[in-house]
A and B are shown apart, each in its own frame.
Chain A
Amino acid sequence: MTSEQEQQSIRCLVAKVGLDGHDRGAHVIARAFRDAGFEVIYSGLHKAPDEIVQATVQEDVDVLGISILSGAHNTLVPKIMDGLEEYDALEDTMVLVGGVIPDEDKDQLKDEGVAAVFGPGTSIEETIEFVRENAPER
């Protein structure tokens, strides 16, 4: 066929992990991503790291955005990263973390492979721009 009409669309999983029950931010992000033309899959509340890994692998998302306000990021995020590694999905999935993350933990998350950490006050436009510019090329 001469005309290959590629129909790429940025796919994102917006995930809530652990006991944190506040998902207003996740809803706002999901909606904003949708309006930016992304395909958004929302995980729902209280997910275990395994569940997030399963969804990320099966849905083959470009971006995994983890929203976390409970302070458990140092235990939960590495578990997700290890799970992605196990299914060969770490390399081409961009992982973002949003929520209340103390400055001293940010570097540690980045060492784990998190591409960016968005704290309170980050504008939605900035997040969308970051995703557009940095979503993995496949």
Chain B
Amino acid sequence: MNAADEQLLEDLLAGKHRALARTISKIENRSSGYRDLVSELYAHTGDADVIGITGSPGAGKSTLVDKLAEAYRERGETVGVIAIDPSSPFTGGAVLGDRIRMASTVGDMDVFVRSMSARGTLGGLSTATADAVKAMDAFGKDKIIIETVGAGQNEIDIVRTADSVAVLVPPGSGDSVQTLKAGILEIADVFVVNKADRPGADRTVQELREMIELGEGTGFGGGAGHHGADAMDTDADATDVDGAGDGWTPPIVETVATEGDGVETFIDALGDHRTYLEESGILAERTRQRYAEEIRTLLREDVHAMLEDELERAGGVDGLAEAVRRGETDPYEIAGGALDPVETCLDELEYESLELPSE
């Protein structure tokens, strides 16, 4: 690490807001040296409680996050918020508008709100988010809230960075078939029916309850559901995270975020989930899975970048694509040709560098 980054790390650990802000920028920009910086942060993390909040646009996420932050501050805890908004697929530009609703805690620097956009590609956002969480954790935030629109797989990856995930469901968001579909509902540890004063709220609560009851005993809706089919073939001695042995049934909390109604109940539900995670050993298991995912994502990004460089050296992907168009070759042949030397190298490689550190 160079001297400037060491200074930055020192300032961040000393609690300087500007240093935290700058560190997150370096992470977002993937500035040179950012990896060494994040690598240093790990030694100072592990104390924060990370909460993910997702739900469709207009569900009231930002308003609820604002009230949540306010309530945590009243309890004397410091809060970090990462608010994620989509960016334009055409220009890369974005209007990051969640901050505007963070009005209750304005002027209080101990609520640190940072807006991020989906700048990167290929899992880049979830890596950047996970790293930004590390920065806030190392800075000393007690609660870190990640807020994102639950529109697709990318967002699901992001909220998985959290220990507890709350999914906001506005009243009247579809019939019972919607609740059967795969997607964000499966990742909920807590359901929040926000805008509970609106007509249709009771029905939405009822539909969610039916969905949860249907899921009981089958693994779905059992609070886990996070890992899909691959969780089945994990080691036999691993904690049983999925399936009927899981003792967590996601509660349904009704809130009116604009009024602050139900926020205390919501906080209690999150607290209960946290206690459950700790006592059941699932927290350790989830943390391990998250790190496994981080390692995989980093490796994927690196390999991807190396191959992009290789493509550049070969004169860019356009020539190859043109060759496919003319029927001279096909994508599978090209991919195979590019990867064969890598495979040969790996076969010859010794795996010393991947050994576990000794005690």
Contacts and interface: CB of A to CB of B under 8 A. Distances in A.
Interface of A: 1-9, 11, 30-31, 33-44, 48, 50-51, 54-55, 57-60, 87-89, 138
Contacts of B113: 55, 58-59
Interface stretch (B27-35, B183-191, B259-267): B27-35
Contacts, number: 110
A89 B35 CA distance: 24
B119 A34 contact: no
Interface string B288-323: 000000000000001001101100000000000000
A39 B17 contact: no
B94 interface: yes
B331 to A, nearest CB: 22
A3 B306 contact: yes
A41 B17 contact: no
B309 A3 contact: yes
Contacts of B309: 2-3
Nearest to B20: A58
B177 to A, nearest CB: 36
B99 A55 contact: yes
B30 A6 contact: yes
A117 to B, nearest CB: 24
Given A57-B17, A88-B18, A4 B99 contact: no
Closest 6 CB pairs of A and B: A3-B305, A60-B21, A34-B93, A44-B100, A37-B91, A37-B93
Interface in B300-355: 302, 305-306, 308-309
B95 A8 contact: no
Interface stretch (B104-112, B154-162, B208-216, B234-242): B104-112
B117 A39 contact: yes
A120 B93 CA distance: 25
A10 to B, nearest CB: 9
A91 B345 CA distance: 49
Interface string B15-54: 0111001101100111110010000000000000000000
Contact of B91 (A2, A36, A87): A36
Contacts of A58: 17, 21, 112-114
Contact of A1 (B16, B87, B115, B302): B302
